[in-house]
């Protein structure tokens, strides 16, 4: 096993064992790398592909070196990433399905990597099925996905699964921007559930806004929001948490709008470079990317709300060492004084229940408003 493969699988023991055995006995024709975003699937896939191409090459070191370059100049390595929200059907057909019938240019093998395989439309997946069923002997296909449930069962069943675990918090902290405060990096690493992309998002301006909106909702149900404090000082009736949930929704909408604009710009650039797309196709694909990002961000926001209540329960139970939001520990300790831990535990359950409801396409506004009122009743 190469030193490079050992390095990139440092935190992925199961993947290392499986891929080492594969290189020793001869790689299978198709693999499904599955695990959370940021777990290192792409780096491992590139290294594994490089080892396959180095095998039997006249100059293994040079073949390996070129395969590891990103983007790779090696003619027998095809790496397909989605353009916008989804893979283009034409690209999957041309660059993978048809190209797989051509013999290697210089190596003994050809390797095709499809990153974010869940972004393939059903049409692309069905077209790829025959290649997976009857591939040429020299073809190896690596599918990378963070959402294996989005792949057709017929696709997944024809690939050997390689499982990736979430990265441990120390590994995430080491990979995060060292300019961020240490406590904030530690919190981002714990809150991201092993997802490096999420951890980095939490340290961005948009991530700060989402996290602030989530915490404001969590604090508001106890009457501790700035608006509630002002009302108390002025003798007015304190506001409910209902207006606060809208801030969470607005933060998610802002991230979605940014994703839509970014996708539109990317598609416009590709159209100018000669990729055939109609104006309607660009608009539809950009909107899909925006909606998907908005939905994912809202779900993550609710996950952050649940983490606040979880930490509140842990603090009230005298276990501050297991708190995820370590950079908010002083705030949590103040609010947890004389608090029954059962209340925030129940609140966290309600938030998770709302996340499940949103998976059923219920109205986001109604679901969030109902959640706010149910939380208020717990802490009343």
Does residue 208 share a domain with residue 160?
no
Does residue 127 share a domain with residue 222?
no
Does residue 73 share a domain with residue 8?
yes
What backbone torsions phi and psi does residue 328 show, to the nearest 5 degrees?
-120, 15
Does residue 188 lie within any of the structural domains? no
Q: Last residue of some domain: 146, 165, 184?
A: 165
How high is the pLDDT of residue 234? 41
- Tens of pLDDT, residue by residue over 43-57, are 999 999 999 999 989
Residue-range definition of the domain harbouring residue 75: 3-165
Does residue 293 lie within any of the structural domains? yes
| Cα separation values, 168 from 6, 188, 248, Å | 17, 12, 28
Tokens for 141? 């296909």
Does residue 232 share a domain with residue 152?
no
Q: Last residue of some domain: 112, 145, 165?
A: 165
- Tens of pLDDT, residue by residue over 5-26, are 999 999 999 999 999 999 999 9
How high is the pLDDT of residue 98? 95
Does residue 209 share a domain with residue 157?
no
Does residue 190 lie within any of the structural domains? no
Q: How many separate domains does the chain show?
A: 2
Does residue 248 share a domain with residue 149?
no
| Cα separation values, 218 from 209, 221, 316, 369, Å | 14, 6, 15, 13
Tokens for 51? 């080892």
How high is the pLDDT of residue 224? 55
Does residue 199 lie within any of the structural domains? no
Does residue 99 lie within any of the structural domains? yes
How high is the pLDDT of residue 228? 44
| Cα separation values, 358 from 72, 295, 352, Å | 41, 9, 10
Does residue 270 share a domain with residue 155?
no
What backbone torsions phi and psi does residue 33 show, to the nearest 5 degrees?
-85, 110
Does residue 131 share a domain with residue 237?
no
Q: Last residue of some domain: 114, 142, 165?
A: 165
Does residue 289 lie within any of the structural domains? yes
Does residue 217 share a domain with residue 149?
no
Does residue 371 share a domain with residue 248?
yes
What backbone torsions phi and psi does residue 139 show, to the nearest 5 degrees?
-100, 135
Does residue 170 lie within any of the structural domains? no
Does residue 328 share a domain with residue 231?
yes
DSSP per residue over 163-181, as a string?
E-PPPPHHHHHHHS-TTS-
How high is the pLDDT of residue 277? 78
How high is the pLDDT of residue 292? 86
Q: What is the CATH number for 115?
A: 3.40.50.300
| pLDDT tens, residue order, the chain (380 aa) | 578 999 999 999 999 999 999 999 999 999 999 998 889 999 999 999 999 999 989 999 999 999 999 989 999 999 999 876 678 888 999 999 999 999 999 999 999 999 999 989 899 999 999 999 999 999 999 999 998 999 999 999 999 999 999 999 998 998 887 778 999 999 999 999 888 889 999 999 999 999 999 999 999 875 454 444 444 444 444 444 447 899 999 999 999 999 999 988 888 887 887 777 788 988 988 898 899 899 999 999 999 999 999 999 999 999 999 999 999 999 999 999 989 999 999 999 999 999 998 877 779 999 999 999 999 999 88
d(CA 237, CA 229): 10
Does residue 45 lie within any of the structural domains? yes
Does residue 299 share a domain with residue 248?
yes
């Amino acid at each position: 096993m190469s030193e490079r493969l050992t390095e990139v699988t440092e935190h992925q023991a199961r993947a290392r064992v499986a891929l080492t055995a594969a290189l020793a006995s001869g790689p299978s024709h198709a693999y499904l790398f599955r695990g959370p975003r940021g777990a290192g699937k792409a780096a491992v896939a590139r290294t594994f592909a490089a080892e396959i191409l180095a095998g039997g090459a006249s100059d293994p070191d040079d073949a390996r070196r070129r395969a590891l370059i990103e983007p790779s100049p090696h003619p027998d390595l095809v790496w397909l990433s989605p353009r916008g929200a989804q893979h283009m059907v034409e690209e999957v057909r041309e660059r993978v399905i048809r190209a797989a019938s051509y013999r290697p240019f210089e190596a003994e093998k050809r390797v095709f990597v499809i990153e974010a395989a869940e972004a393939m439309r059903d049409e692309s997946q069905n077209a790829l099925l025959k290649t997976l069923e009857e591939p040429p002997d020299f073809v190896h296909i690596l599918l990378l996905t963070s959402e294996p449930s989005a792949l057709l069962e017929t696709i997944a069943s024809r690939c050997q699964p390689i499982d990736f675990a979430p990265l441990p918090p120390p590994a995430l902290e080491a990979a995060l921007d060292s300019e961020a405060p240490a406590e904030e990096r530690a919190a981002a690493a714990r809150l991201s559930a092993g997802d490096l992309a999420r951890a980095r998002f939490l340290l961005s301006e948009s991530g700060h806004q989402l996290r602030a909106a989530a915490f404001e909702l969590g604090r508001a149900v106890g009457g501790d929001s700035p608006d509630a404090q002002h009302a108390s000082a002025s003798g007015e009736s304190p506001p409910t948490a209902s207006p606060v949930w809208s801030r969470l929704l607005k933060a998610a909408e802002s991230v979605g709008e940014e994703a839509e604009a970014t996708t539109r710009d990317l598609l416009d650039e590709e159209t100018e470079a000669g990729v055939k797309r109609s104006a309607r196709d660009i608009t539809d694909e950009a909107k899909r990317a925006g909606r998907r990002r908005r939905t994912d961000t809202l779900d993550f926001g609710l996950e952050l709300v649940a983490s606040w209540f979880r930490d509140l329960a842990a603090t009230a139970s005298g276990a501050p060492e297991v708190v995820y939001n370590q950079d908010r520990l002083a705030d949590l300790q103040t609010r947890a004084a004389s608090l029954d831990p059962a209340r925030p535990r129940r609140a966290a359950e309600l938030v998770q229940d709302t996340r499940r409801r949103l998976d059923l396409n219920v109205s986001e506004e109604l679901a969030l408003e109902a959640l706010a009122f149910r939380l208020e009743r717990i802490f009343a």
